[in-house]
Structure 1
Amino acid sequence: MIVQDIIDIMESHFPEHLQEEWDKSGFQLGDRKQQVTKIMVGLDADLRTLNEAIEQGCNMLITHHPFLFNKLSLDFDTSTGQFIQKAIMHHVAVYSAHTNLDKVAMNVWLAKATLLEHIDVCEEDGLVRKGQLPQVMNRNDFVNHLKKTLHVDVVKVAGVKDNIQSVAVCGGSGSDYIDAVKNQVDAYVTGDLKYHAGMQAYDDDFLLVDVGHHVEVIMVEKLAAILREESSLEVAESTSPDYYQYL
């Protein structure tokens, strides 16, 4: 199979036209006609994940977060320049599926991981998902449930609501959707929340839980399984950890 064949598989599941206007999903770098021998799936298109791919003999890297977010620079003293240089030198094609994957699958995967039932879209663009816990949980039990099912050691919580059953989930940075979901659910689970978002949880009587951005790493295993099934190629899974450590 060539790079374009893998791109076709990706876009059959996660159509590029679904991405947000500001997003840079899609083919990032490489030769579309290159034969693919082994793929690596990772959360971030960064140097550490690229190094993993090279060390494991992969010649295609598929990530959730693109590296082409900011103004493009080919200055090899920058991390972006070094990424491009190294990918070209080692013939590694790079493809990313970001907000298009979010809309189709990311928050479904996260909702299922937290054992939600009756999963449905929560707002107009279909990004946030909501569902019901099998039973009502108090605040502390719900927080511990999230830590266990999402494999996180620490979460940030705002609000005092103590009977939780309806839950909305948005992987990554979900602050923009607070107003859209707060009246539909008892708790909203997302990441990258700023200080003043917590005020709304108290004022509007819902629970706000920040589980961090890195919970999106769930996509590595899920996407790797899709690619193995549909490409018959060897697919490696990146093990790059969260950028942040909680000490």
Structure 2
Amino acid sequence: MKVKELMAILDEIAPFKDSEKWDNTGLLVGDEEDEVSGILTTLDCAHATVEEAIEAGANVIIAHHPLIFPDISQVVEAGVGAVVRNLIRNDITLIAMHTNLDHQPDGVSHMIADALGAEETEILIKHEYFYKKLRVNISKGDVSQLKKDLSAAGVGHQGDYSECFFEYPVKGQFRPGDNADPYIGAQGELEHVDEYIVEAIFEAAHENQVIDALVASHPYEEPVYDVLTLKKPSDKGLGIKFSYDGTLTDLVSLIKDKTGHSVVNVVDGGSDSIRKVGIIGGAGMSYIDAAFSQDIDVLITGDVKYHEAYDAKLAGRSIIDAGHYIEAIMAHGLKQLIEKRTDIDVCATTVSTNPFE
């Protein structure tokens, strides 16, 4: 398997297009034409991680946190640059799966919940999925060819289905001007024609190529069409939630027992019992309002600041700061997701990159 083939598999697990705009995911170091000898999954890529990959015979490291961000302006033998140089010296590929993995139903937050023994989880903050709908008028005899050409341009693809179109008959009329070159009718004469309206959805990002394909395929000199913007809840989003029966103290003990990670701090919002738990791996306090609007009793996250905790306390919201490093659980979870799709050897890191240790 080549790196580019592995990238295609990873894109199935967590599409890179789901990454936040500020993020830096995908192939960070390496050559997509290289053959993959083995894979190491990890939260962070450090010198010790590179050495671990070498010992394991793995020439691909897949990290959750990107080693390289846009504010890095030089690659020298210090800091992040030294790690990058180490990767290159040892011909090791580095791939980052960060916010794209966060936003999946079986992503990082789900992996944390799974470690806690939660059997069923659902997305905490669902994304809204924006897409486009094309509606175009065309003569009856040209419907089939138009649908074929539009389908090739990405129109009518919905989940695991393709060529999804609707069509219905309408009556059209027009009067070609003196400078017109009509496909049907004659200059200056009012023409009535039996037409069909063809409708289908497509990805918003593909609008330009869809319009180009429409104009190229449509026989009319001036095609009549509309492009509508639609939205619906997605099956993806940030964080997860699951049912729980116990107290806040019970939940804190469960986190310590099941994950081996020490809880940093706890904000007791005054709930006597916990029935619904939310998790946002990493730093999730900027989403606290959206999280608690989903009827959770407590939010497990990391990097909670003093004033954020103070405001949560005043609002009667319980917060468990389990630390950012609890995301290290993702190394094993990602290993399992990759192993379902390939026979390449995959190992989860055993090296701690926790900066507080």
Q: Same fold (TM over 0.5)?
A: yes
1:56 Cα shift? 2.4
- Matched-pair contact (CA < 8 Å) for 1:47–1:79: no
Query: 2:329 aligns to what SS in structure 1?
Result: helix
- Structure having the larger proportion of residues in strand: 2
CA contact (8 A) 2:75 2:84 kept: no
Counterpart Cα distance in 2 of 1:66 and 1:210: 23
- Give the equivalent residue in structure 2 for 1:200: 311
Cα distance in 2 for partners of 1:146, 1:41 equals 22
Aligned to 2:116: 114
Distance in structure 2 (CA, Å) of the matches to 1:154 and 1:232: 36
Partner of 2:52: 52
Query: Which residue identity is paired with 1:107?
Result: S
Q: Partners in 1 of 2:39 and 2:251 — Cα distance?
A: 37
Q: CA deviation at 1:54?
A: 2.0
Instruction: Show the counterpart of 2:14.
Output: 14
**For residue 125 of structure 2, what is the aligned residue in structure 1?**
123
- Return the offset for 1:76: 1.9
- Checking the alignment, whether the CA contact within 8 Å between 1:74 and 1:84 is kept in structure 2 is no
- Compute the displacement of 1:119 (Å): 2.2
In structure 2, C-alpha distance between the alignment counterparts of 1:74 and 1:56, rounded to whole Å: 29
Q: Tell me if structure 1 keeps the 8 A contact 2:40–2:53.
A: yes
Q: How many residues align?
A: 243
Larger CA Rg, structure 1 vs 2? 2
Decide whether aligned partners of structure 1 residues 232 and 142 sit closer, same or farther in structure 2, where only a CA change above 3 A counts.
same
Is 171-180 or 235-244 further displaced after alignment?
235-244
Counterparts in 2 of 1:66-81, with a 5 A limit? 66-81=66-81
Deviation at 1:90, TM superposition (A): 0.9
8 Å CA contact retained: 2:112, 2:330: no
SS of structure 2 residue aligned to 1:85: helix
Give the match for residue 248 of structure 2.
139
> 4+ residue stretches of structure 1 with deviation over 6 A?
none
Query: Which ranges of structure 1 fall in alignment gaps of 5 or more residues?
Result: none
CA contact (8 A) 1:102 1:127 kept: yes
- SS for the counterpart of 2:41 is strand
Partner of 2:285: 175
Cα distance in 1 for residues equivalent to 2:62 and 2:248: 37
AA partner of residue 34 (structure 1): D
Say if 1:230 and 1:149 are closer, same or farther in 2 by CA, change over 3 A: same
- Taking the TM superposition and a 5 Å limit, the aligned residue runs for 1:195-234 are 195-234=306-345
CA distance in 2: counterparts of 1:120 and 1:182, whole angstroms: 14
* Aligned-pair CA distance for 1:173: 0.7
Higher helix share: 1
Give, as a single letter, the amino acid of the residue that structure 2 aligns with 1:10.
L
- Relative to the length of structure 1, the TM-score reads 0.91
Does the residue aligned with 1:153 lie in a helix, a strand or coil?
Answer: coil
Q: Report whether the alignment pairs 1:149 with 2:241.
A: no
Change (3 A) 1:49 1:226: same
Within 5 Å, give how 1:96-111 maps onto structure 2. 96-104=96-104, 105-111=107-113
CA offsets, 1:154-197, max 9 Å, x none?
A: 33101232311111101101111111122421100000111111
Quick check: 1:185–1:206 contact (8 Å CA) kept in 2?
no
Gapped runs of 5+ residues in structure 2? 128-236
Give 1:190's aligned residue.
Answer: 301
Q: Which residue of 1 aligns with 2:224?
A: none
- Measure the CA separation in 1 of the matches of 2:36 and 2:118: 37
Q: Which residue of 2 aligns with 1:243?
A: 355
Displacement of 1:118 in angstroms is 4.9
Q: Indicate conservation of the 8 Å contact 1:43/1:65, yes or no.
A: yes
Question: Conserved in 2, the CA contact under 8 Å of 1:73 and 1:81?
Answer: no
Partner of 2:165: none
Whole-Å separation in 1 of the counterparts to 2:14 and 2:46: 21
CA distance in 2, matches of 1:234, 1:128: 29
CA deviation after TM superposition for structure 1 residue 70, in Å: 4.2
Q: Secondary structure at the match of 1:44?
A: coil
Confirm or deny: 8 A CA contact 1:19 1:99 kept in the other structure.
yes
Q: TM-score, normalised by structure 2?
A: 0.64
**What SS does the corresponding residue of 1:74 show, helix, strand or coil?**
coil
